[in-house]
Structure 1
């Protein structure tokens, strides 16, 4: 398959006023594009919480190693490369793919870690030049509005599709709500119209872990002479990973086994925290080693304040806000929708996707709810391209009539696994 054109950069969009009413004077959005624009072939992809605009590899390896991937690692770099690219499910020889880093993040779009204007009027002047917690509160609605501004900048009007997973799926749903005339098809994967109370509670604990780190310093930790709040961010990251995995997958991979010879030792791991007095008596378990591995270095590639801002945006999103019900919020959308969910995902459940499918049906929108039988948990949308790719590919081409797009047409909670194979363990579960 021949290479396709790609582009990346930072669009300077001038002043941007957030939903909260506060403004940023020199707003920038980092983005990548893959493929060639022909007027009606644009697919906007919305990344998840700590993802980036680097949705897939480029044909130029030196570019991936340079500015496009700067600071990105693990699931932030080429995070959907198994799904997006020449000849893949979202085929960049056919579609013009756009992916933008969302406001509040730290991969090039303006956020808390960005340089602030020198003349910004602050109640207390910090000893650094970053926005920090003076940055305006961010909402998912702001993500969609920033993407619309970017697309205008790129000369793109109507979209063939908006595709997103996890909180990126909320972002995609917001497009159907806010810009119903601008998009033909919406693909919302492993997502919901709002978080449930359990997820809200875990996110609150994760944010408190960051704020409890003495190095957070009220969000003013920037500058060469200040340490970052890496311990608090690492604990927040570990809480996130527990949310993303299922009970079955964790038991199968770790059980009650102690760490193996090739794993981190307790001295190397445990986030460098002081040892418990009894720690030497008890084993350092594989699940502990895994969590320490996932947290290791996360603070080097992600900003703690961004984590606070983005989790808060996810927590506060409610599709029905201002409308009373999800169906009312989606009433103006006249395209088609694909919902995908995974049987062991307790972060965003099959039932929550089923509820969204019912809301689309209530408005008369052709909709399919494709359920994948998988025990991976929430991470399945990233690590099971063999199950995610085919229905996405066929939906982009043929809508709900696509041959790999399933829909039982009724109560999505009765039989959550109508026609999917049980997915095997995937090695990339352990990507950082």
Structure 2
């Protein structure tokens, strides 16, 4: 597989908030570009440009499952996870022998693209909270500039899950003439109040950490707010799993006192009487690994961008926002996902239909929760592969479904 890993200097970039900074974007490409076969893949909240590569292991990861070699991790700013290797690659759903795949780390992150942890050339110190506020629209504009930089013209498809799916929707809204097909997966036109609340608590965990220091902690002699970031990540992981998957994975089982001795958790003397449960051990393990590789201020910025996103912003409705798009759309959702629900995806499919766009909604019956788009490639891959190849033609349609959307629990494409 022909892969390029690089950083593009996009010059001075003005964010939607009105401020501008020099912007470098870390990106990876896979395959050969023939002028019409580009597929842009948008990563989720804490993902990177490293969308595919050989892996040693795979499991639930809440946006970034999987691990590979340590040297690969160093090359991607600390993230060793090739987060969608089961979907992107030679012979996979997004076949890198056929498509030229581009994935770019978003502005505000900490995996190679300029963000709060980057050095401000004017001060010689990290931007911290002086970095401009970022939006999903900023991510999309930066990706468009990167594609211009790479000489990539019209894009065959833009694909992404979770907040990466919002990124996909913004492409259809902002650059409808540049993309033929869009695939928003496990996403919605906006977050609901429950998820806004969870994100708000997560951010408060970071900003109330004694080491937060107003975001001024990036120097070598300063301790970062790891406790707050750990709690924020744990809250995120609860949102990535379903009740069914948590019961199956952990139940109410005890992890044992030895496991607690190594836990990433505060002292809890009263807790010595009670069992340290497997679900606690899992959350502590995820927190410990996450704080080693991610920046707390980036987490604040990226969750703010996700919370702020509203497809209908500046328009009368979601359908009105999509009206300029003349391509095709495939919406994919999962029954066990309460982060972005099937009902939210159905409303999104309705908006595409109302806008006169050829679209289909494929619902996967799954109890994996929001993580399903990462950990069930056998469910995501077939409809995605067929849609990239043939659009919505040949989809399985219920006779009772007059709108010609794939019904809930049914396969979108004929076998």
Superposition TM-score, scaled by structure 1 size: 0.88
CA distance in 1, matches of 2:223, 2:278: 29
In the alignment, which residue of structure 1 is the partner of 2:52? 56
Deviation at 1:363, TM superposition (A): 1.2
The answer on 1:280 being equivalent to 2:276 is no
CA distance in 1, matches of 2:299, 2:398: 35
In the alignment, which residue of structure 2 is the partner of 1:83? 87
Deviation at 1:70, TM superposition (A): 3.7
Q: 1:129 to 1:386 in 2, by over 3 A?
A: same
Please point out which of 161, 166, 169 is paired with 2:162: 166
In the alignment, which residue of structure 1 is the partner of 2:375? 383
Residue 265 of structure 1 aligns to a residue whose secondary structure is helix
Residue 211 of structure 2 aligns to a residue whose secondary structure is helix
The count of residues paired between Structure 1 and Structure 2 equals 400
1:308-327 correspondence runs (5 A): 308-327=300-319
The answer on 1:208 being equivalent to 2:200 is no
- Check conservation: 1:370, 1:407, Cα contact below 8 A: no
Deviation at 1:297, TM superposition (A): 2.5
CA distance in 1, matches of 2:288, 2:395: 42
Deviations 1:203-225 (A, max 9, x none): 00000000111111110001111
- Check conservation: 2:361, 2:405, Cα contact below 8 A: no
The answer on 1:71 being equivalent to 2:78 is yes
Deviation at 1:253, TM superposition (A): 1.6
The answer on 1:98 being equivalent to 2:102 is yes
Residue 361 of structure 2 aligns to a residue whose secondary structure is strand
Q: After the TM superposition, which parts of structure 1 deviate over 2 Å for at least 4 consecutive aligned residues?
A: 61-70, 402-416
1:4-403 correspondence runs (5 A): 4-24=1-21, 26-57=22-53, 65=72, 68-73=75-80, 77-118=81-122, 129-259=125-255, 265-269=259-263, 271-275=264-268, 277-402=269-394
- Check conservation: 1:6, 1:58, Cα contact below 8 A: no
CA distance in 1, matches of 2:297, 2:216: 9
- Check conservation: 2:397, 2:407, Cα contact below 8 A: no
CA distance in 2, matches of 1:298, 1:410: 46
- Over the aligned positions, Cα root-mean-square deviation in angstroms equals 2.2
- Check conservation: 2:397, 2:406, Cα contact below 8 A: no
Deviations 1:137-180 (A, max 9, x none): 00000000000000000001100000000000000000000000
Deviation at 1:118, TM superposition (A): 2.3
CA distance in 2, matches of 1:408, 1:339: 20
Residue 49 of structure 1 aligns to a residue whose secondary structure is coil
Deviation at 1:411, TM superposition (A): 7.9
Deviation at 1:296, TM superposition (A): 1.1
- Check conservation: 1:259, 1:284, Cα contact below 8 A: yes
Deviation at 1:324, TM superposition (A): 1.8
CA distance in 1, matches of 2:101, 2:398: 25
CA distance in 2, matches of 1:361, 1:180: 16
Q: 1:407 to 1:202 in 2, by over 3 A?
A: farther
CA distance in 1, matches of 2:295, 2:194: 25
- Check conservation: 1:348, 1:378, Cα contact below 8 A: yes
CA distance in 2, matches of 1:273, 1:62: 31
Deviations 1:18-38 (A, max 9, x none): 0111110x2100000000000
Superposition TM-score, scaled by structure 2 size: 0.92
Deviation at 1:237, TM superposition (A): 0.3
- Check conservation: 1:394, 1:405, Cα contact below 8 A: no
Deviation at 1:228, TM superposition (A): 1.1
CA distance in 2, matches of 1:405, 1:136: 47
CA distance in 2, matches of 1:388, 1:408: 25
Structure 2: unaligned runs, 5 residues or longer? 56-67
